[in-house]
Amino acid sequence: MNSLYGTSKDIGENNIYAIFKLIYKNQPITRKELANTSSYSAATISNHVNHLIEMGFVTESKKGSSTGGRKPVNLEIISEKGYMLTINIEVDQVNIKLFNIKYEIVEEIIIEELYKNDVSRSLIKIFQEIKRILNHNPRFKEKLLGTGISVPGLINKESGKLVFAPNLTWENAPILDEFKAEFPDTPLFLENEAKASAIAEKTFAYPEIENMVFISVNQGIGCGIIFNGKLIRGATGNCGEYGHLKVTENGRRCHCGRQGCWETEASELFIYNKFNQEIREEKKYSQEEIYNLIAENHPLAVEISNLAADGLGKGVANVINSLNPELIVIGGGIIRIKEHISERFKQVVSRQALDLLWNSTEIAFSDLGKESANLGMAWIVREHGIISQLKL
């Protein structure tokens, strides 16, 4: 078994954690069924299940059907054993979700507005909402396994800083230090939003796929690469910044300071800027309004969504040619117009990607949608939290 995040090389080899995950996946399940669906011996399963029950992770119930005689004893995960707090910071909103260890959302708050140029003030607002959630039930704080924060920009995994989030206009923000000062007792994890989403897509939507790329198209474009079943992070945690791959000479100026980056040709910001520029009205149309116009077949809006589809195709072809994935999942706000861009963008990909690679690549739009980054962070937190409690 692989550790997707690669946090501890021992995770996958540890039987007790593997058995916990088998129970989670198949619950309710009896000890006998566990033995039948895995390669573990009945004795190993019995030992580890007893330990999981003693630790409070698993409970026994006798609600299963009986074929006469003793009723089978079912095993189930105790959802209140632990909680994962996740914060997905987006350019226009912050989504805070508290999950239990069954990945069920128990609390959720959306902050609709951030202070674009003021990291501290924005964080204070986020902290207030987190405290509000944690105060709803003393158990939440007591059993918090950790806190995962996803951000739409470049991070430094060593310093815990959000180094650069041009669309958010945050630079060198010491996110983890600020969180640590406010919540000193919880383990903290910082990740790029597209990478957190890639983990969620791999874990919850495509567990069988070993080589895939998640492409998050919001105001910018981010990528998360799963290679041989693992998230690739790179030296500083920023592997796969295809959004800043140059796709055109003398193109539009990008926030990163260069010209012609992929995200200037295909992101939501491209659609927003181009539409408002071309319509030549005093009123600024919001992203939402432009998407509605695309749905209503407004000629200019459709023309611009076609350009975005072309731009998206160009970049995806580069991703396919360089990484040869089995699957590309497109997520982010752009999926609102997937029906309008899908065919055209796939045509561009088919023209620009090498046939041999393109023929073996599937393209899908995310079904997890806006949940994905929070879910990915919940996975990271749960993985660390449970492993440390089981003292592996």
Nearer to Zn ion, 161 or 244 (CB): 244
Nearer to Zn ion, 222 or 376 (CB): 222
DSSP secondary structure letters along 319-388? HHHHH--SEEEEESGGGGGHHHHHHHHHHHHHHHS-HHHHTT-EEEE-SSGGGHHHHHHHHHHHHHHHHH
When asked if residue 4 is in the footprint of Zn ion (CB under 5 A), the reply is: no
Binding mask 91-130 for Zn ion (x = CB under 5 A): ----------------------------------------
Stretch in the footprint of Zn ion (CB under 5 A) among 201-209, 218-226, 260-268, 340-348: 260-268
Buried b or exposed e, range 276-296, using 16+ CB within 10 angstroms: beebeeeeebebeebbebbee
Q: How many residues bind Zn ion (CB under 5 A)?
A: 5
Residues 6 or more apart whose Cβ sits within 8 Å of residue 291: 336, 337
- Could you tell me the smallest distance in angstroms from the CB atom of residue 167 to Zn ion? 11
The span from the CA of 185 to the CA of 388, in Å, is 14
The span from the CA of 283 to the CA of 131, in Å, is 39
Nearer to Zn ion, 176 or 221 (CB): 221
- Could you tell me the smallest distance in angstroms from the CB atom of residue 159 to Zn ion? 22
- Could you tell me the smallest distance in angstroms from the CB atom of residue 306 to Zn ion? 23
- Could you tell me the smallest distance in angstroms from the CB atom of residue 246 to Zn ion? 8
Stretch in the footprint of Zn ion (CB under 5 A) among 9-17, 79-87, 224-232, 255-263: 255-263
The span from the CA of 387 to the CA of 18, in Å, is 10
When asked if residue 48 is in the footprint of Zn ion (CB under 5 A), the reply is: no
- 219-248 positions binding Zn ion, by CB under 5 A: 244
Nearer to Zn ion, 19 or 261 (CB): 261
Query: DSSP class of residue 257?
Result: S
- Could you tell me the smallest distance in angstroms from the CB atom of residue 262 to Zn ion? 8
Nearer to Zn ion, 26 or 273 (CB): 273
Stretch in the footprint of Zn ion (CB under 5 A) among 70-78, 199-207, 250-258, 293-301: 250-258
When asked if residue 256 is in the footprint of Zn ion (CB under 5 A), the reply is: yes
Nearer to Zn ion, 256 or 302 (CB): 256
**Phi and psi dihedrals of 78, rounded to 5?**
-90, 110
CB atoms within 10 A of CB 29: 19
Q: Of residues 49, 149, 168, 261, which one binds Zn ion by CB under 5 A?
A: 261
What are 77's strand-pairing partners? 58
Peptide bond into 28 cis (omega under 30): yes
Nearer to Zn ion, 221 or 373 (CB): 221
Burial of 227: CB neighbours in 10 Å, binned 0-12, 13-18, 19+: middle
Helix, strand and coil content of the chain, in percent to the nearest 5, comes to: 45, 20, 35
Type and span of the H or E element at 84: strand 83-89
C-beta of residue 334 within 8 angstroms of C-beta of residue 268: yes
- Could you tell me the smallest distance in angstroms from the CB atom of residue 321 to Zn ion? 20
- Could you tell me the smallest distance in angstroms from the CB atom of residue 318 to Zn ion? 14
- Could you tell me the smallest distance in angstroms from the CB atom of residue 178 to Zn ion? 26
Nearer to Zn ion, 244 or 384 (CB): 244
Among candidate residues 310, 302, 312, 317, the one with its CA nearest the CA of residue 355? 317
Nearer to Zn ion, 4 or 254 (CB): 254
C-beta of residue 195 within 8 angstroms of C-beta of residue 167: no
When asked if residue 254 is in the footprint of Zn ion (CB under 5 A), the reply is: yes
Stretch in the footprint of Zn ion (CB under 5 A) among 44-52, 187-195, 205-213, 259-267: 259-267
Nearer to Zn ion, 154 or 377 (CB): 154
Stretch in the footprint of Zn ion (CB under 5 A) among 112-120, 223-231, 254-262, 341-349: 254-262
- Give the interface with Zn ion as residue ranges (CB under 5 A): 244, 254, 256, 258, 261
